[in-house]
Structure 1
Amino acid sequence: MGTPYSAVLTLIVTAGVINVIMGIYVLTNRSKQAMSKTFIALSLFSAIYVFGSALELSAESLAEIKLWIKVQYWGLPFLPPISLLLIMYFLGMDRFLKPPLRIGLFVMPVVTLLLVMTNEFHHFYYRSIEISETASFLKVDLVAGPWYIIQGGFTFGCMFGGVVLLLLYWNRMKSSYRLQHVTMLVGLLLPIAGDFAYLSNLTPEGIDPIPVIMTVTSAMYMYALAGKGLMNVAPIARDNLFESMGDGVLVLDMENRLVDYNPAAGSVITKLTANSIGHSIEPLWRMHTDAVLLDPKEEELESSARDVSPIQEEEVLWMIDGQSYYYQIRSSIVRKKGGQENGKLIVLIDVTERVQLQEKLRDLAYHDGLTGVYNRSHFIQLSEKLLDEAASNVEPLAFLLFDIDHFKRINDAYGHDVGDQALLHVVALCRSLLRPNDIFARYGGEEFVVAMPGLSLHEAAAAAQQIRAAIAAQPLVLPAISQSQPQPQPPPIISITASFGVAVAASVAGVAAQAGSTATVSQTLSAADRALYEAKNGGRNTVRTASSGDFADLKSHTAAGTSA
């Protein structure tokens, strides 16, 4: 049926199993974990100690008890310095962990192990190990030797040192790491309390309570490890720079689980909270953008031979509370000193203002600043493409060139602000009548141009007549001006008309072809401009089309160029 302390043995064995599982978990995920070697060592030595304690309690002779005590010391003296190292890694104190310090911490445990293994020859660690006469089960009474006291002081020194460091960093650590912080603090305080109780003979029948306590602390470590990413990436000493950065910063493990973030990232990813630590960032990411979370790992593989950590960048559309923003996402691999991949660093930089400025500059390069229609240079570029398509498809390309009549009078009578309103009024009317595939542009001043693919000269003239009639029929109505007269004055009404010149590229090409050449956009617009000149001289508010006479100069010019 087992020993009277089968329940205690079960708890101790459970602690050992948990430590083995944690060690295997970190070992198999070592490329994704920080502090992995230290934590694996802690799990290994803890398992050795607790399994040795369980076997000691179940031993049936003094010789067996002495054997299992020696087994325990292959793990026990190493636990305090390893715990201290783990805490220093967690607090970002890596810069203090120089090789001499790391080696020095393990001199005492190694000496203790040697003295325990050879205790029968010098009794410097245990003066005696005898069967207890008072216990209700097989148990030994240990009489401490000089080195036992020294090792005990070293053990408490490491543990108290860890407690002091954790308390000193309590207010400096981000609240999202409070669980991990508390786990490590409790993982030290409980064994300290247990040791005092054991040394004060306050435990039942003098049983060492530490292996039982490790059942609790190991379970806490396991939860913090698997559930909250305790060992994913050391949170680094959190200084004011990280907290006050204007750019959002995310620290992820290699599986895109959140390890850390700064307040700026919380304003960019609105649902980001301390509870997000240890969970994948991708669901929160997809709430703001359709862009794929950057993964520099492929570039990392390509540059591994050069020992370079590339920075991957991309500008993405980012939505926050229904508002559109633009963020530059920078992603890079975080490495430990040995070059081992440790996690990912994602920086979110707000570039909305810059992108909007670039879009505005790009828009100004193609569009007129006042009316929003294409400017002259971009219209020429687009028209040249349309002309090539028209030639390939053997289709006509019509051009309407029109000018607002007596525009200077409007500016002189009402001011340039009203003149601008007149231009916008005409543009709005034209847009309502043009087809989607027509190209509309401001040619200069009060002059506008339209390219109309597929229209013959007759059809283009009809379209021009429709636009001319709409402009003439719908005057510009200005807002009423507040005056001191008792009777309100009706709002000013400004009648606007326009004169049109129409030419079709096919007609020009036909004339040019007689001279062995091909018409260009510039030549076709010149013909439309001649027709517009005729419309102005003919009384304005009318439409004129290019005739064969309008192409006479073009014909002579192309012919002269050919003969030359």
Structure 2
Amino acid sequence: MANPQLTAYISLVTTSGVLILVLFIYSFVKRKQTPFAYTFMLFTFTQCIYVFGHAFELASNTLEQIKHWTMVEYAGMPFAAVLGLIVILKYIGKTVSLRTGLLMCVIPFISFLMVLTNDYHHLFYKAMYLRADAPTPMADVSIGQWYIVHGAYTFGSLFTATVLLIRRWRSTKKAYRFQLATLIISQLLPMSAAFVYLLGLTPYGMDPVPITMCVTASLFIWSIAASRLLTIVPIAKESIFESMREGVIVLDANRRIIDYNQAVKGMIPFLHSGVIGTSLDDMWPQLTGKAFPDDVSMDGLEEEVHWPTAEGVSSYQVRSSLVTNKRGDAIGMLLMLIDVTEQRMLQEQLKKLAYYDGLTGIYNRTQFLEEGRALLEDTNRGPVSLILFDIDHFKQINDTYGHETGDQALIHIVSVCQRFIDPEMPFARYGGEEFVIAVPSAALPEAARLAENIRAALQHNAMHVKGQAIAVTSSFGVVQLGDHESLEAILRRADEALYTSKKDGRNRVTAAA
């Protein structure tokens, strides 16, 4: 007659297998909605093999049958603990690559092979025999060396998963704590049952782990129904914090650095773990050359900062945001650094296109007119003179040597002029081969001397192209701004003076009163 206690035990084990099978089917159906569905499917599949194999082992009548179903159990049981750990790692937001997962399964795979071939080496079980005190055929074992390795690895996987989950308790929102508790119990119960089993405290040496799986599987199903475990999974705050592209520095109420993410380490060259606890007031001047704003209660501060890096000067927009407690009191601050280096470079390029001549790098006509009008509107400007000049026989240079040489002539003219021009003198390419210089605080004679110096320098400094010296000269028209005269009017008078220089033989300066 069958033992009623054993029948009840087998029934409970079989119930565990059925519940786990339900979880497997559910994860398969919801696989597109679950972040780690396939890992969870493997986890529950290996548990099913283990639990049903154990049920058949308990129902066996001979030692050979028990050995056979033990081999079946070990096709699932060693892998279940490792796959459970991988599920937990993915749940808390850690990335587990396929290669890492396979490496984690090496010892379970060796354990499975050891059980299959145990009769040849006895490294897993030194001996397996029927218990004399059991009411029905039950096996007992004498453990071998690899059994210790397998047991330690399995226990270590369960323990690691439990610790990882417990450490997340405080940082997990209350809405997800039921999920977290379910996962903790799913690791803690089998680990505790395995420990009791290893101590030999179970009746007739029966493995209690499959029974605990009835509880854990029920909790899983309850958690799925109550909090949609597997389909709605919290993302760890640390994962979001570290994966942000923006750099983030966390400050306490005394503006001391208490944390920062990975992104900001690439932005601030000298940032390292040693700065934790350092005051931002000490660090900020090193970055920006000025003190951090005194008003710590300032929320929404926006400031653009620049500092040198190995690639050049980097630009960052810094934004501040207060951290408050439930009463609304400021307890800290977040500083977010957004890399705007490319944006700043693009703005500079657009500025150059809008204001500067693309070939020579000096002002273009539009910007000169704007600068010139601003100069005329300055009531404290004093006398203002204008120098307008162009390259003599520029078409001939282009026709003889080519347009590339013509471009080099324009660059040559600018480089010679810049030896004589002060930064406050607006200098522009006015058109084709024509240039203009505004000379503030200079009367006509002084401006004429400047023009003559430039003319002489051009005459005595030939342009060299491919070893050939090419003479490049210019004709100049110089005028002084009259009372209440517009910029357009003075430009017309300068053009007339320039025409006079060209008519009189070129390579000369004409100053018109």
TM bucket (normalised to shorter chain) is 0.5 to 0.7
Distance 1:276 1:380, change over 3 A: closer
* Among 171, 176, 183, the residue aligned to 1:91: 171
What is the rounded CA distance, in whole Å, between the counterparts of 1:455 and 1:359 in structure 2? 32
Secondary structure in structure 2 of the residue aligned to 1:421: helix
What is the rounded CA distance, in whole Å, between the counterparts of 1:446 and 1:403 in structure 2? 5
Distance 1:320 1:437, change over 3 A: closer
Deviations 1:468-526 (A, max 9, x none): 11111111002x3xxxxxxxxxx1221111111121113xx4xxxxxxxx321211111
What is the 5 A alignment of 1:321-360? 323-336=312-325, 339=328, 341-360=330-349
Q: What displacement does 1:328 show? A: 0.9
Distance 1:272 1:370, change over 3 A: same
Distance 1:291 1:437, change over 3 A: closer
**Alignment correspondent of 1:407:** 394
Q: What displacement does 1:458 show? A: 3.2
Secondary structure in structure 2 of the residue aligned to 1:433: coil
Distance 1:435 1:299, change over 3 A: closer
* Among 466, 469, 481, the residue aligned to 2:456: 469
Which amino acid is 2:456 matched to? A
Deviations 1:281-330 (A, max 9, x none): 44344432224446775345xxxxxxxxxx33211113346942111112
**Alignment correspondent of 1:261:** 260
* Among 463, 488, 492, the residue aligned to 1:526: 492
What is the rounded CA distance, in whole Å, between the counterparts of 2:278 and 2:461 in structure 1? 63
Distance 1:90 1:287, change over 3 A: farther
What is the rounded CA distance, in whole Å, between the counterparts of 1:464 and 1:376 in structure 2? 20
**Alignment correspondent of 1:447:** 434
Secondary structure in structure 1 of the residue aligned to 2:348: helix
Which amino acid is 2:430 matched to? Y
Structure 1 length normalisation: TM-score? 0.48
Does the 8 Å contact 1:295/1:331 carry over to 2?
A: no
Distance 1:92 1:414, change over 3 A: farther
Does the 8 Å contact 1:318/1:326 carry over to 2?
A: yes
Does the 8 Å contact 2:322/2:333 carry over to 1?
A: yes
What is the rounded CA distance, in whole Å, between the counterparts of 1:293 and 1:455 in structure 2? 44
Q: What displacement does 1:545 show? A: 2.7
What is the rounded CA distance, in whole Å, between the counterparts of 2:380 and 2:269 in structure 1? 54
Count of aligned residue pairs for this structure pair: 304
**Which range moves more in the overlay, 332-341 or 311-320?**
332-341
Does the 8 Å contact 1:472/1:496 carry over to 2?
A: yes
Distance 1:345 1:294, change over 3 A: farther
**Alignment correspondent of 1:505:** 481
Distance 1:326 1:526, change over 3 A: same
What is the rounded CA distance, in whole Å, between the counterparts of 2:376 and 2:316 in structure 1? 40
1:458 aligns with 2:462: no
Q: What displacement does 1:443 show? A: 0.9
Q: What displacement does 1:416 show? A: 2.5
Distance 1:297 1:455, change over 3 A: closer
Distance 1:503 1:274, change over 3 A: closer
What is the rounded CA distance, in whole Å, between the counterparts of 2:345 and 2:257 in structure 1? 31
**Alignment correspondent of 1:429:** 416
What is the rounded CA distance, in whole Å, between the counterparts of 2:380 and 2:271 in structure 1? 57
What is the rounded CA distance, in whole Å, between the counterparts of 1:504 and 1:272 in structure 2? 57
Which amino acid is 1:273 matched to? H
**Alignment correspondent of 1:544:** 510
Deviations 1:247-287 (A, max 9, x none): 21222222223332221122223333334444434434443
Distance 1:327 1:398, change over 3 A: same
Q: What displacement does 1:364 show? A: 3.5
Structure 2 length normalisation: TM-score? 0.52
Does the 8 Å contact 2:297/2:322 carry over to 1?
A: no
What is the rounded CA distance, in whole Å, between the counterparts of 2:400 and 2:431 in structure 1? 21
What is the rounded CA distance, in whole Å, between the counterparts of 1:282 and 1:413 in structure 2? 65
**Alignment correspondent of 1:207:** none
Structure 1 consecutive aligned stretches of length 4 or more whose deviation exceeds 6 Å: none
**Alignment correspondent of 1:316:** 305
Secondary structure in structure 1 of the residue aligned to 2:472: coil
What is the rounded CA distance, in whole Å, between the counterparts of 2:285 and 2:257 in structure 1? 14
* Among 384, 394, 419, the residue aligned to 2:373: 384
What is the 5 A alignment of 1:273-292? 273-292=272-291
What is the rounded CA distance, in whole Å, between the counterparts of 2:446 and 2:259 in structure 1? 67
Does the 8 Å contact 1:250/1:345 carry over to 2?
A: yes
Which amino acid is 2:490 matched to? T
Percent of paired sites with the same residue: 42
Deviations 1:221-252 (A, max 9, x none): xxxxxxxxxxxxxxx94443322222212222
Distance 1:396 1:253, change over 3 A: closer
Secondary structure in structure 1 of the residue aligned to 2:242: helix
